[in-house]
Structure 1
Amino acid sequence: MRSSLVNLLLCTFFLKVSTSEKITFENVTVQWYVGNKTQETVYTSDNLKKIIPDEEDEVRVWIHGSIPILYEKSVSDIPNLYILRLSGVGMEEIKPGAFGNLPLLKALLLDSNNLIEIKTDTFVDLNVLYIDLSFNSIVLLQPGVFKNFKAVHVNLGNNKLAELPRGVFENFTLENLILSYNLLHTIAPSALSTIGLTKLSLFGNKLEEIDPEAFDMQELITLELDDNLVKLLRPGDLRNLPKLEILVLARNELEEIPEGVFNNTKLIVLILDANKIAKIASKAFDDMPDLVALYIDSNNLTQWDNNWLRGAKSLAHISVNFNQIMEIPDKAFKNYPRVKSIGLEGNKIGKISAKAFDKLEHVDDYLDLSFNEIDSWSPHLLGNVSVGRLELNGNMLPCIEGDLKTVFKNVEVTNFQYNPWNEECVKKVEEFIQTSVELVD
């Protein structure tokens, strides 16, 4: 009798322990919203559906508290769940099968937790607009994590992923994938090739190259690779990105731009800021008919090549601020006579050829030559070029010959502050400002 009682107590004890270990939601605060109705309650249960109102309207749920483990079927069979937020609840593990039969779910927020590994079949068969797994400590995504998964945006930024193997995105349909601020140094060939991406954010990783086998994404439009370790670009690196329009390679380790990387691409915006670029091949930007904006600020360029950008018929903005360029040569802008802006601020330009602006017709927004070393300005230098705003401030101009109204007749706004004007020129400038206030910034 005594033995039977002990066994009964032990069974009861183990049953309770086993049951308690399976409870995902224990004394958590659940806020749910249906239309304009809001309710908040403290909740303990193994499945979220027991607290969600059984209505046809979409329900949005925010949960606060501690949820170390999301157990199997803990968020399942909830036909009207529209948004679920489990941000910052200390989650360390998601058991495969935790999510199931959620036909209306559009946003799943799991950010700012302590997840380290996401296992196979964790998000199987889900169809959402957005899933947020950012700001965790994820080091591993097992193959098949997103099996038969459909989404528009997936955020895996600010984790600790060092590699992206094949199979992670098996049978996956996705438009925008954020993998920024991880530790990625390699992406397996074909790991991303079948999911239909149009935008891929990889900034803030440790990638050293653009491997055409890894970057084989036929639908990709935007690729963000800033803040990586890319040192070398090779002809053909972009050959498997036929629809690429925006490429960001700022803050890498590039020293040279060779021919054959960007030619005959559909790029519209190319950003190469804050590298170490000292040399650009004369034909590096040829045959880019769709290019609208080129940014090469904060590099080590010393020369301006007037042959750059042949065939760039759509170019509107070129910015080469804060380099080491010392001279503007003849016909410097002949290949793009009609642009909106030219940025050459903060270089070492001391010489401007008398024919530097030949072939240039107009610069609608601005021509920025501020903070250089320009010490003379010919009255006929601009010729008939019309300029929205001319920036000459912060140079070494002691004076400008001729009548300033004539010199800058085709310039809407002229800014030439902070130059070492001589006494004669100070008076001329003051008169110009007084009689042409609208021309001076």
Structure 2
Amino acid sequence: MRSSLVNLLVCTFLVKVSNSENTFENVTVVLARNDVPETTVATFDSLKEVIPDVKDEVRITGNVPILYENSIFDVPSLFSLDLSNVGLEEIKPGAFGNVPLLNKLVLNSNNLTEIQSDTFTDLNVRYIDLSSNSIFLLQPGAFTNFKAYYVTLENNKLTELSSGVFENVTLGILNLGSNSLYTIAPKALSTLGLTRLNLFGNNLEEIDPDVFDMQELTSLSLNYNSIKSLRSGDLRNLPQLDDLWLSGNELEEIPEGVFNNTKLAYLHLDRNHIAEIGSQAFDNMSALILLNIDSNNLTQWDNDWLSGVSRNAFISVGHNLISEIPDEAFKNYPQVASINLQGNKIRNISDNAFDQLEIINHFNLAYNEIDNWDSNLLDNVIILHLDLRKNKLKCIEGDLSEIFRKVQLIGLENNPWDEECAKKIGEFQNKRNWISSWDRYQLD
């Protein structure tokens, strides 16, 4: 049993030195090994001396305020190094060198305030974590001849990103979320080869095509910034962009020419202040899977917003101020996966609202103010799941089995049904074995 577990080689160092530039003093080094028993080492002169010449994952605990030059140097077996929460305040240039196997470097939850030039020169790692420090400055050349798949600088105090910070650098994913960035220099990120960029929770006010000039980028998070407007052509230098997050900004309008003819599959515009969407603003988004405009200030549904969208699209415009569904509201996408209009102010539905809509998987009209349901509304549309819960329906006249004959599951609960109508609905649900249709769907 013991041989199948990962044993820990714990080395405790009580170093008494006069050299003020000694990095490691009174620290514990834990080597994750599965082929040696636990061993205690009294003293050491360098990190290299306590790491055998085999691939190792190393965690250091204690107080390490400064990494001096050559602190982590000439350790060819080092695979992973964790220096999180050790009180680190400064990394001197040249602290890292000749660590060809280093795959993971964790420096989070320390007291770093800046990254100096040449700090990470010539490093080739997969993952580096600098999150949850107090970094307000990345000096030009901080990352030089550097290669990594994922770098996170999340939850720091950066206010700007200047050009030259990344010189001859290749990255896959860069996380700059939860900083205070208000400006990024043009082309500062353009040559990195990024596929994903997280700028969540900063202070950016626009999408500048000179800044967002990343030909390989597929995912961009700009949630909870201060973006006030979008312009035609803002995304012109992001040809591969598939996933765009703009939730929680200060947008009031979506004009035409921003998203048209893009490859976007996922577009998040929820939690803004959007009151107006230009006609055809979402036309020709043939790859669209999710359009989320929840929790905005829209007062009407425009049947010309979209055309040419995928039949797999999920269109969510919940928790707005829409009061009616107009004629042929869904004419431009006769087959679509889902439409969510939950939590609006919808009271009126045009007699022809569903004309030209052929089939839809989920249609959510719950938590609105619908007080009348025309018996012919759904004559020509197949709906797998229809949600009419929590409206103001007192009765639906006519044969419910006929009215909802093309609906597979329906939610009718929590309406103020008249006594006789409530009895009719109960019989209708029992007849189709829908004792609680929507609850059953939710359970599935």
TM bin, normalised by shorter chain, reads: over 0.9
1:297 alignment partner, SS class = coil
Cα distance between partner residues in 1 of 2:164 and 2:38: 41
User: How does 1:25-424 map onto structure 2 within 5 Å?
Assistant: 25-35=24-34, 37=36, 39=38, 41=40, 45=44, 47-55=46-54, 58-364=55-361, 366-424=362-420
Cα distance between partner residues in 1 of 2:287 and 2:403: 34
Cα distance between partner residues in 2 of 1:268 and 1:340: 14
Q: Is the 8 A contact 2:314 2:337 kept in 1?
A: yes
Give, as a single letter, the amino acid of the residue that structure 1 aligns with 2:405: K
Cα distance between partner residues in 2 of 1:245 and 1:39: 49
1:434 is aligned to 2:433:
no
Partner of 2:9: none
Cα distance between partner residues in 1 of 2:37 and 2:21: 28
Q: Deviations over 1:295-326 (max 9, x none)?
A: 00000000100011122235520000000001
Cα distance between partner residues in 2 of 1:318 and 1:38: 59
Cα distance between partner residues in 1 of 2:76 and 2:177: 33
Q: Is the 8 A contact 1:162 1:184 kept in 2?
A: yes
Q: Is the 8 A contact 1:330 1:355 kept in 2?
A: yes
1:25 alignment partner, SS class = coil
The TM-score normalised by the length of structure 2 is 0.92
Alpha-carbon offset, residue 140 of structure 1: 0.4
CA, structure 1 residues 240+389, in 2 after alignment: closer, same or farther (shift >3 Å)?
same
1:437 alignment partner, SS class = coil
CA, structure 1 residues 163+80, in 2 after alignment: closer, same or farther (shift >3 Å)?
same
CA, structure 1 residues 197+39, in 2 after alignment: closer, same or farther (shift >3 Å)?
farther
The TM-score normalised by the length of structure 1 is 0.93
Give, as a single letter, the amino acid of the residue that structure 2 aligns with 1:283: Q
Partner of 1:5: none
Give, as a single letter, the amino acid of the residue that structure 2 aligns with 1:175: G
Q: Is the 8 A contact 1:47 1:73 kept in 2?
A: no
CA, structure 1 residues 42+116, in 2 after alignment: closer, same or farther (shift >3 Å)?
farther
Give, as a single letter, the amino acid of the residue that structure 2 aligns with 1:204: G
Identity %: 59
Unaligned runs of 5+ in 1: 1-14
Cα distance between partner residues in 2 of 1:274 and 1:403: 40
Alpha-carbon offset, residue 438 of structure 1: 3.5
Give, as a single letter, the amino acid of the residue that structure 2 aligns with 1:387: I
Cα distance between partner residues in 1 of 2:227 and 2:399: 51
Alpha-carbon offset, residue 437 of structure 1: 2.5
1:26 alignment partner, SS class = coil
Cα distance between partner residues in 2 of 1:407 and 1:66: 73
Query: How large is the Cα RMSD of the aligned pairs?
Result: 1.5
1:429 alignment partner, SS class = helix
Alpha-carbon offset, residue 46 of structure 1: 5.3
Alpha-carbon offset, residue 286 of structure 1: 1.3
Alpha-carbon offset, residue 35 of structure 1: 4.1
Alpha-carbon offset, residue 384 of structure 1: 2.9
Q: Is the 8 A contact 2:355 2:380 kept in 1?
A: no
Cα distance between partner residues in 2 of 1:138 and 1:258: 37
Alpha-carbon offset, residue 94 of structure 1: 0.4
Alpha-carbon offset, residue 152 of structure 1: 0.3
Cα distance between partner residues in 2 of 1:109 and 1:216: 29
2:26 alignment partner, SS class = strand
Q: Is the 8 A contact 1:28 1:42 kept in 2?
A: no
Cα distance between partner residues in 1 of 2:429 and 2:311: 36
CA, structure 1 residues 353+79, in 2 after alignment: closer, same or farther (shift >3 Å)?
same
1:342 alignment partner, SS class = strand
Unaligned runs of 5+ in 2: 1-15, 439-444
Q: Is the 8 A contact 1:226 1:251 kept in 2?
A: yes
Alpha-carbon offset, residue 203 of structure 1: 0.5
CA, structure 1 residues 41+197, in 2 after alignment: closer, same or farther (shift >3 Å)?
farther
Give, as a single letter, the amino acid of the residue that structure 2 aligns with 1:299: N
Cα distance between partner residues in 2 of 1:36 and 1:44: 22
Give, as a single letter, the amino acid of the residue that structure 2 aligns with 1:390: L
Give, as a single letter, the amino acid of the residue that structure 2 aligns with 1:286: D
Give, as a single letter, the amino acid of the residue that structure 2 aligns with 1:373: E
Cα distance between partner residues in 2 of 1:221 and 1:314: 22
Partner of 1:4: none
Q: Is the 8 A contact 1:157 1:178 kept in 2?
A: yes
Give, as a single letter, the amino acid of the residue that structure 2 aligns with 1:382: L
Q: Is the 8 A contact 1:24 1:46 kept in 2?
A: no
Give, as a single letter, the amino acid of the residue that structure 2 aligns with 1:112: S
Aligned length, in residue pairs: 422
